[in-house]
Structure 1
Amino acid sequence: MLEDAENGLTVLFRELLSELYEEMKHLDERVEKLEQKLETIAANNEACKLLLNSLVMMENFSLQCGAEHI
């Protein structure tokens, strides 16, 4: 769509959208890499494991309580 010169968008606006799209892809890749690092840290740290288990238990409890009120 951005390459379509007849779509009514100016060249400058198409360039801007293209740059923003490339930046967004870069940020998505960065977030993915950081998530992988955090998962590695959490998997090797007992305090993180306990915290994550507690969060899962709280989420499950919350879902169960919410399901009872439906």
Structure 2
Amino acid sequence: MRYVQSHHEDVYHSQLKNRCQNSNKNIMERLVIQAFLDGLRDTETRKAQILARPSKFVDALGRALEFEAASQSFRG
């Protein structure tokens, strides 16, 4: 506070008040994918999905389901 000039407080308050949520769907998609990957319990599935770098949630979900099916078939 001691290094900030007093008029900056008004500027920051005005910027915060006028700020609105961005509707960037790419960011939302990345957040959905990240939440999905963080929620995967199997570490091998999670690792495979992270390395695949999915750009869409449906791709991440499909790859995870395929990976799980393949893993189960190898387990017997």
What TM-score, normalized by structure 1, do the two folds share? 0.31
Larger fraction in helix: 1
**TM-score of the two chains, using structure 2 as the length reference:** 0.30
Higher RCO, 1 vs 2 (CA within 8 Å, ≥6 residues apart) = 2
